[in-house]
Amino acid sequence: MMRTPAGHQVYAMAAEYPSAAALYEAAKRVRDAGFRRWDVYSPFPIHGMDDAMGLGKSWLSGWVLFGGVSGLLTAALVVVGSLSARCAR
Amino acid sequence: MDAAPAAPETIEEAERQIARGPLVLNRRNFSWLTERISAVVEQPAPRWWWVAFTITASAATFGLFCLGYQISTGVGTWGLNHPVGWAWDITNFVFWIGIGHAGTLISAILFLLRQKWRTSINRSAEAMTLFAVTCAAIFPGVHVGRVWMAWYLAPFPNNWGIWQNFRSPLMWDVFAVSTYFTVSVLFWYTGIVPDLATLRDRASTKIRKFLFGIFALGWRGSNRHWRHYEMAYLLLAGLSTPLVLSVHSIVSFDFATSVLPTWHTTIFPPYFVAGAIFGGFAMVLTLLLPCRAMFKLYDVITPQHIDKMAKIILLTGSFVGYAYTMEFFIAWYSGNSYERFAFWNRVFGPYWWYWWVGMLFCNVLSPQLFWFRWCRYNVYVVYFVCMCVNAGMWFERFIIIVGGLHRDFIPSSWGLFIPTWVDIWTYIGTLGIFTSLFLLFVRFLPMIAMSEIKTAVPEADVHLVTTPGGKERTR
């Protein structure tokens, strides 16, 4: 159990780096050391950081595909349905 | 005979040969970019902003009054009559939608093409798109006359048994434009979230902290979020790209699916899309050149950016010029007497001025100045050409619409269109709405995408290694 000089339990650690390149190298080391609950913060998206952190592809694209397909089907149903012959009442 | 140029000896030499200039001049660092771009929002508005806003807001208010007058009194307040049923209203609609497309092209298409130079202009261009589409959407709404029945355009089950005519391009317009607006808003907002977070963290007043805080959605710059952000950005860019092509093609179908000479032609979709990008880029420069001067953003919106935009204007202007030539040729080649007359009438008829000044000089000839490097690098020449193109594109739409309608098949039906003050001031009002919204955007929101432009400087490259002699790129 790590404790601060004042005796408190260490909750988390933060490190600041002077450049995107240094941050990238550090991230790879943290990833390789096996840490799970960690993150990298930057004011802009750093190219290659997702791999350096060992993160996979974002799941967003799957949901958007689902949304697109369902939207297409809905629209097609509305258009074809309203233009099709159907019972009077 | 000269020998062929030798291949470069090393990769470094090859890269130096194809190296483009820096996208941010004077080797500005991240901190400078944040400070300079945030300063526009954080400092009080300069006097010129108030002067401009007063003028544009007055025009906008009077324009809204004209709209209210037209809606309450009737479409007769416009100059529309037989045979010209569409004139300034639809000209304005097509004009504004076209302008919007340049913003989406810069944001989405240049993103997919990995053109990093878009990063200093995309935020403003996207905002311009939103405001342009807002102005555009006014016209289909009010030109129906009975605006309170505009809900008939929405497809939902109702007890009147009313469904829309999905076979009509005017209906397609409703869906195309509303989709375009929705996607553009989402794209713009997604992109601006990290910059709103930056402003939130720098906020000095409680109101700013609260408002920026709400709209920044808790953004912290975490890479786990950047991952989803980048995917969302890519997806939205991918969705917006076909919209640029499809929306203006649909708008062109308003004319192309008719039977009128000069309207009923398959050239319209690519002609309109090219014209939209052409006019839109001119409007982007019309807005950005003064802003960059007033806010001293020369290091960020560099001469290289203006040069590239001028080249796009030249390219699309040449497409438009080619399309004009083809229209005339095909009209003659077709042998169709109505088609031939319609184009003769465009050049020599009562609206000849619109062709010679608007289409020929402004659209075809003025952008040809951009073949010359000196012209592309001189902001005054660029601004002059952009103003010409802005005007020329409005004249082009007018001559297509009114020129096609006022003299069609039967000479006894021929007539002239003369605008009323309501027509004119409504249009000036939309210019006021557009510019007012853009001025508000520039004042309260970051007009340059801070997070994106930081990715365009060399320091953002993770493979950059600083050596004692300077910066080198490693493989």
User: Which pLDDT does position B475 carry in this prediction?
Assistant: 43
Render the burial of B73-88: b for 16+ CB within 10 Å, e for the rest.
Answer: eebebbbbeebbebbb
Cα separation values, B406 from B184, B336, B346, B413, Å: 36, 18, 11, 8
The predicted structure's pLDDT at residue B1? 47
**CB A50 to CB B220 under 8 A?**
no
A3 touches chain B (CB under 8 A): no
Using CB atoms and an 8 Å cut-off, which of residues 16-75 of chain B contact chain A?
Answer: 30, 34
Say how far apart CA B308 and CA B121 lie, in whole Å: 12
The predicted model scores a pTM of: 0.92
CB contact under 8 A, A44 and B455: yes
To probe the interface with A, which of B187, B223, B236 has the most A CB atoms within 10 Å?
B223
Q: How far apart are CA B93 and CA B50, in angstroms?
A: 28
Measured between alpha carbons, how far is B345 from B339 in angstroms, rounded to an integer? 10
* Terminal-residue alpha carbon distance, chain A: 74
Where chain B has pLDDT below 70, the residues are 1-10, 13-19, 465-475
A58 contacts chain B (CB < 8 A): yes
Q: Residue B465 has what pLDDT?
A: 67
Which of B153, B156, B163, B224 to probe by mutation at the A interface, max A CB count within 10 Å? B224
Interface contact A24-B454, CB threshold 8 A: no
CA distance readout (Å), B338 to B86, B259, B451: 20, 11, 56
As a whole number of angstroms, the distance between CA B473 and CA B475 comes to: 7
Between chains, do B454 and A43 touch, taking CB under 8 Å as contact? yes
CB atoms within 10 A of CB A38: 15
- In this complex, do B223 and A53 lie within 8 Å of one another by their Cβ atoms? yes
- Report pLDDT digits (tens) over A33-65: 999 999 999 999 999 999 999 998 999 999 999
> For residue B220, what is the nearest residue in chain A, using CA coordinates?
A41
From B163, which residue of chain A is nearest by alpha-carbon distance? A82
Residues of chain A neighbouring B454 (CB-CB closer than 8 A): 43-44
d(CA B66, CA B432) in angstroms, rounded, equals 13
Among B433, B339, B235, B104, CA closest to A67? B235
Cβ of B155 under 8 Å from any chain A Cβ? yes
> CB–CB of B223 and A50 under 8 A?
yes
Q: How far is CA B343 from CA B85, B322, B398, B402, in A?
A: 20, 15, 14, 13
> Is some CB atom of chain A closer than 8 A to the CB atom of B222?
yes
The residue of chain A nearest to residue B460, with distances taken between CA atoms, is: A20
Q: State the maximum Cα–Cα separation within chain B, in Å, rounded to a whole number.
A: 84
d(CA B449, CA B192): 7
Q: Over 60: is that where the pLDDT of A16 sits? A: yes
Q: What residue in B sits closest to A44 (Cα-Cα)?
A: B451
Q: Are B424 and B88 contacting, i.e. CB atoms less than 8 angstroms apart? A: yes
Report how many Cβ contacts below 8 Å link chain A to chain B: 89
* Rounded Cα gap, residues A84 and A78, in angstroms: 10
ipTM: 0.92
Residues in chain B: 475
Using a CB-CB distance cutoff of 8 angstroms, which residues of chain B are in contact with residue A45?
Answer: 223, 226, 229-230, 451, 455
Residue B156, pLDDT score: 87
Contact predicate B291/B124, CB 8 Å? yes
Residues sharing a CB contact under 8 Å with residue B356, sequence separation 6 or more, in sequence order: B347
Of A44, A82, A83, the CB nearest to B454: A44
Write the residue in A43, A50, A82 that is nearest to B221 by C-beta. Answer: A43
Distance from the A66 Cα atom to the nearest Cα atom in chain B, whole angstroms: 13
Q: Tell me, yes or no, if A61 comes closer than 8 A to chain B by beta carbon.
A: yes
CB B228 within 8 A of CB A60: yes
- Mutation target vs B (from A31, A58, A64; most B CBs, 10 A cutoff): A58
Q: Which of B308, B373, B299, B249 is nearest to B106 (CA)?
A: B308
Residues of B with Cβ-Cβ distance to A38 under 8 angstroms:
none
Contacts of B198 in chain A (CB under 8 A): 43
The H-or-E segment that residue B473 falls in is strand B470-473
Q: Is the dihedral of CA B40, B45, B47, B52 positive or negative?
A: positive
In this complex, is the C-beta atom of B246 within 8 Å of any C-beta atom belonging to chain A?
no
Interface of A with B in 65-84 (CB under 8 A): 78-79, 82-83
For B266-291, the DSSP string reads TTHHHHHHHHHHHHHHHHHHHHHHHH
A33 inside 8 A of chain B by CB: no
Determine the Cα–Cα distance for residues B29 and B228; give it in Å rounded to an integer: 26
